[in-house]
Amino acid sequence: MRTILTTVSSPGFLYLASQSPRRRQLLEQLGVRHELLLPGPDEDSEALEAVRPGEAPAAYVKRVTGLKLEAAVARLVRRGLPPAPVLCSDTTVALGRAIYGKPEDARDAARMLSELSGHTHRVLTAVAVQSGRRRFDALSDSRVTFAKLTPAQIRGYIAGGEPTGKAGAYAVQGTAAAFITRIAGSYTGIMGLPLFETAQLLRKVGVRWG
């Protein structure tokens, strides 16, 4: 059952349901006032990211974003916070129909980077916002091409710690930029929050920015 926010507070304020510092940075770039609305210790947010057998990457990232948004709205009501729009986003990397989430460890990160090496993959970021009974969502679909990486390059990158917590085991805004030969699509979407799509959604729920 979807939780409904009955009223909306300030038209220039929202809750961001994401632990990503990059998403917060991008919202600040837009000039949107926001507060974090993060899961408590009693919530298993990682369980929401489980991939269903045969699930297509786009369907997966949209479904996970929707689940995270529903959980965040319920969290807002449960904590008795002032009602305001809630924004949620999720990113996944895909090579064909293979979905690359956050690596479990260094070995898993090495596997992902080795498979992405020398290929063009998709970066899919879904974003959704709910305000009262209104809920809107959008999908950013970008392409990233990696040069052929040597084992030494992969080991060095992993040793720097950047792959931790990153879909596909890399961050486009970090040193992995040296591996990328071509990008087609939304750079901010690849970072984790497509600003064009996000701005359109914020307009729909009356959140002012800039």
Residues assigned a catalytic role: 90
How would you class 30 by CB atoms within 10 Å of its CB: exposed for 0-12, middle for 13-18, buried for 19 or more? Answer: middle
Q: Where are the alpha helices (DSSP H) in 10-56?
A: 21-30
Reduced DSSP (H G I as helix, E B as strand, rest coil) percent helix, strand, coil of the chain, to 5: 40, 25, 40
How does strand 134-146 pair with strand 98-100?
unpaired
Tell me the CA distances in angstroms from 169 to 12, 22, 40, 118, one per residue in order.
34, 15, 25, 15
- Of 3, 161, 119, 9, residue with least CA distance to 69: 3
Cα separation, 86 vs 132, in Å, equals 10
Element (H, E) at 197: helix 195-204
Please, are residues 73 and 48 in contact by the beta-carbon 8 Å criterion?
A: no
Nearest-Å Rg of the Cα atoms of the chain is 17
